Amino acid sequence: MNPTCPSEQVASIIATHQDRPGALLPILHAIQDAMGFIPPDSINEIAGALNLSRAEVHGVITFYHYFQTTPPARHQIQICCAEACQSMGSERLMQHAEAAASGSTNYAVHPVYCLGLCATSPAMMIDDQLHARVTPDKFDRLINKIGSES
Ligand code: FES
């Protein structure tokens, strides 16, 4: 069976892992891998299956920054903030990108530390595409382009 409903997906993942020792983390990882986040309404089901309190499950989810409780943005933007890019204006680029993405569910902006394009900095990545020598104007053009393709 290939579960399509989110709650069926969560139930299937719990059933697969719940008898393992220390099952909570494998379950949380599997849910996030499958769905991109951990739906808050799955906490009850996880807690019940593992005989834990909701607070214990919630505590683990919030302890690890890796776990997300809201659906991921449609596009992931990574801006390099390492030295070479910083010296070429990545801080200004980051501020510009954060302002542009603010309140948007389409884009999430993350700092990263070296994308391997140091000689053509500042560098950034939109989903799996690398971009070099990114100015705020170039950023706007790239974002508008993917916005029109979506
Ligand atoms: S320092 Fe930015 S790509 Fe290497």
Q: What is the distance in A from the centroid of ligand 1 to the CA of 87?
A: 10
Judge whether 57 lies within some domain. Answer: yes
Number of domains forming the structure of the chain: 2
User: Is pLDDT larger for residue 120 or for residue 70?
Assistant: 120
Q: What is the distance in A from the centroid of ligand 1 to the CA of 83?
A: 7
Residues 89, 31 share a domain: no
Residues 144, 93 share a domain: yes
Closest CA to 90 of 59, 51, 117, 62: 117
Residues 115, 51 share a domain: no
Residues 141, 110 share a domain: yes
If one residue of 78, 79, 80, 88 were mutated to test the ligand 1 pocket, choosing by the most ligand atoms within 8 A of its CB, it would be: 80
Closest CA to 3 of 29, 36, 13, 24: 13
pLDDT tens-place string over residues 5-40? 778 999 999 999 999 999 999 999 999 999 999 999
The secondary structure element, H or E, covering residue 129 is strand 129-131
> Residue 31: how many CB atoms within 10 A of its CB?
23
For 50, the domain range is 6-63
Residue 57's pLDDT is what?
98
DSSP output for 55-114: HHHHHHHHHSTT--SSPPPSEEEEEE-SHHHHHTTHHHHHHHHHHHHTT-SSEEEEEES-
